[in-house]
């Protein structure tokens, strides 16, 4: 039997004979003595194969990278000057007394300690990639975080209950992944985007406190923080108000960060209104490490000669917003031009700016092509409202509200995270959590020409807003709350609607008529009639949280077998065509022939 993991053999084993298993990470022949770095999930240990043991030495001579080995040998201290302080086993080595090759390996396509591997290579050979020590550390930390969630929730009386993976399609959020039914011709299941409705029904069933670490599925465009299948820590509880739920969840996250990476998050978390987050940061998930805010200027621009600003004020939801960048006047024109191209990604047509060279000099101290089109009075008001100082630059966004917030919010992050931002004190390292609360109930979808739910259609309106659901949906606010950390939303939740008549009003505001509501959500409406308790909850993104804990660039680095940004698995080549027999069984005929790539 294995004595211990190879990477955990340290000086307390000196003088003992141990049996170890693992992979040959590296083999070195030093003129008569062969050294093998034996690797397992806990790290490396150095194996010494001496020619005094001919059978061991002969076997060691055949070993190559990634051969699977069994080693029995004597643990001894490494000679002075050869210790490796970066390894747990760095003070010892194992003198091999018996060495067996359990399985040889084909030459691996890359060295496991190569730090410059392309993501395509890593995902194609994911099993080998997962053997690399950074990935082993990531996956173990993920496990540690999941267990911290479980232990704390168990202590608070939450019950782990599984909910279905094959369920009804209710396309009110992202696009569903559909699963055709063989038994029911022409009908489909959907993979769950969230266990939302089931956890609400569990509250109605009287379980009171539920949680689940669960896979969810969304067929949406991918980014660094998204995957078609992802894992969330799903939580629901009854008979608690919004503040009580937030208090429990805040303590939970503090516990998870302390247990997993020994980080003490601030207590209590700051709380920010949604409108303040958007107006000050251009985002509902503000990164508070960046020390810049947006400034509202719309009211100043109604009568300016500069057409770009004036026309924005005439739009139904037009805004003129400024972003002051301290010390930004030193930026070369090429850098400003690059930012102009950057904001176009978010729909902005351009990026106006003013370099503030000398505040006291008035117009003469300002450098910009737009200055000539703005009066002295308005220029002075801009300087005062933005608190601009000598050496600053002021960037302007002028367009519809969404475009301005999206573009300037992204620009704020780009400048703040840049070398310029960090070297000029515009970025502060650390962990900056907060709650963002009081989201709008609805947002207007121009394409569909109707109001859609800002979170989901089961979120309760704020007290007093129930009567405005149909008459004034634009000014209805929700008992919704997002937990944000360093610019990432790590958890989103709300108090739910527990009365059938209120739920019907929300459906009506969303232009979901009684017949459609009955077809899509009849089971929920029925349940709400049988004594549904007040309830609410939250779902935390486990992938995102672990990504932040590890400092990884993408959630793909903390998921064992992730998909690419095109939702493909390069390891298994999924998705892939299926044969005609399978399609016939599912009552499916393809309109187009398969496109082989």
Enumerate the known binding-site residues: 172, 218-220, 227, 455, 489, 496, 541-544
Distance of CA 502 to the CA centre of its chain: 33
Q: H-helix or E-strand containing 143? A: helix 133-155
**Alpha carbon distance 234, 194 (integer Å):** 8
510 vs 564: CA distance, rounded Å: 34
Residue 119 tokens read as 């993501």
Cα–Cα distance for residue pair 405/399, rounded to 1 Å: 9
Q: Residue 47's CB: how many other CB atoms inside 10 A?
A: 26
Angle at 404 between CA 401 and CA 410, to 5 degrees: 135
CB 292 within 8 A of CB 415: yes
d(CA 456, CA 77): 62
Place of tokens 């010390």: 327
Angle at 522 between CA 517 and CA 525, to 5 degrees: 95
How far lies 485's CA from each of 4, 288, 317, 429, 490, in Å? 38, 8, 29, 12, 7
Annotated binding site for L-aspartate: 172, 218, 455, 496
DSSP string of 36-76, one letter each residue: EEEEETTEEEEEEE-TTSHHHHHHHHH--TT-EEEEEEEEE
Cα 228 → chain centroid: 13
Peptide bond between residue 268 and the one before it cis (omega within 30 degrees of 0): yes
Question: Residue 494's closest CA among 267, 237, 268, 252?
Answer: 237
Token pair listed for 2 = 């294995």
Look at strands 229-238 and 209-217 and give their pairing: antiparallel
DSSP string covering 84-108, please?
-TTSTTTTEEEEEEEEEEEE--PPP
User: The dihedral of CA 204, 206, 210, 214: what is its sign?
Assistant: negative
Cβ contacts of residue 490 below 8 Å, gap of 6+?
253, 483, 484, 540, 541, 544, 545, 548
Residue 594 CB coordination number (10 Å): 9
Question: Is the Cα torsion angle 185, 190, 196, 199 positive or negative in sign?
Answer: positive
> Residues comprising the binding site for ATP?
218-220, 227, 489, 541-544
| Contact present, 92 and 76 (Cβ < 8 Å) | yes
Torsion angle (degrees, nearest 10) of CA 528, 530, 533, 538: -40
């Amino acid at each position: 039997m294995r004595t211990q993991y190879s990477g955990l053999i340290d000086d307390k084993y000196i003088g003992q004979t141990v049996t170890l298993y693992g992979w040959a990470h590296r083999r070195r022949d030093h003129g008569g003595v062969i050294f093998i770095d034996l690797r397992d999930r806990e790290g490396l240990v150095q194996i010494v194969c001496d020619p005094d043991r001919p059978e061991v030495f002969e076997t060691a001579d055949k070993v190559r990278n990634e051969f699977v080995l069994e080693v029995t040998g004597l643990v001894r201290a490494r000679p002075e000057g050869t210790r490796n302080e970066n390894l747990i086993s760095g003070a010892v080595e194992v003198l091999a007394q018996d060495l067996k090759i359990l399985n040889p390996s084909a030459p691996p396509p890359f060295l496991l300690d190569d730090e410059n591997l392309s993501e395509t290579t890593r995902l194609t050979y994911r099993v080998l990639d997962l053997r690399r020590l950074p990935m082993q550390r990531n996956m173990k930390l993920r496990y540690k975080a999941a267990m911290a969630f479980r232990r704390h929730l168990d202590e608070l009386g939450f019950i782990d209950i599984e909910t279905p993976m094959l369920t009804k399609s209710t396309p009110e959020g992202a696009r569903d992944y559909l699963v055709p039914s063989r038994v029911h011709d022409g009908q489909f299941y959907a993979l769950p985007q969230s266990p939302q409705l089931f956890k609400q029904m569990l509250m109605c069933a009287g379980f009171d406190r539920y949680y689940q670490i669960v896979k969810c599925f969304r067929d949406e465009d991918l980014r660094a923080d998204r995957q078609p299948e992802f894992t969330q820590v799903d939580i629901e509880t009854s008979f608690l108000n919004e503040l009580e739920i937030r208090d429990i969840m805040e303590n939970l996250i503090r516990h998870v960060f302390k247990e997993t990476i020994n980080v003490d998050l601030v207590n209590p978390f700051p709380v920010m209104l949604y409108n303040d987050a958007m107006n000050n940061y251009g985002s509902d998930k503000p990164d508070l490490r960046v020390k810049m805010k947006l400034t509202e200027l719309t009211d100043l621009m109604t009568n300016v000669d500069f057409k770009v600003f004036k026309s924005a004020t005439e739009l139904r939801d037009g805004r003129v917003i400024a972003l002051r960048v301290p010390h930004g006047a030193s930026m070369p024109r090429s850098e400003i031009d690059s930012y102009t191209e950057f904001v176009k990604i978010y729909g902005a047509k351009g990026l106006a700016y003013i370099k503030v060279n000398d505040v006291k000099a008035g117009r003469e101290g300002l450098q910009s092509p737009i200055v000539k089109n703005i009066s002295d009075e308005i220029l002075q008001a801009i300087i005062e409202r933005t608190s601009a100082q000598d050496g600053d630059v002021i960037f302007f966004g002028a367009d519809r509200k969404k475009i301005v917030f999206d573009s300037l919010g992204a620009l704020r992050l780009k400048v703040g995270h840049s070398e310029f931002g960090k070297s000029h004190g515009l970025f502060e390292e650390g962990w900056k959590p907060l709650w963002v609360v009081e989201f709008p109930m609805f947002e207007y979808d121009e394409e569909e020409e109707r109001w859609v739910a800002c979170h989901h259609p089961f979120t309760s309106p704020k007290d007093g807003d129930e009567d405005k659901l149909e008459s004034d949906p634009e000014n209805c606010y929700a008992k919704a709350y997002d937990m944000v950390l360093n610019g990432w939303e790590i958890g989103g939740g709300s108090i739910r609607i527990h009365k059938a008549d209120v739920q019907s009003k929300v459906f009506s505001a969303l232009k979901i008529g009684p017949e459609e509501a009955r077809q899509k959500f009849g089971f929920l409406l029925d349940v709400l009639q049988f004594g549904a308790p007040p309830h609410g909850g939250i779902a935390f993104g486990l992938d995102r949280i672990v990504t932040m804990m590890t400092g990884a660039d993408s959630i793909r680095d903390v998921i064992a077998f992730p998909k690419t940004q095109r939702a493909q698995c390069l390891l298994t080549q999924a998705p892939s065509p299926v044969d005609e027999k399978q399609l016939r069984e599912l009552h499916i005929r393809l309109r187009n022939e398969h496109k082989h790539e």
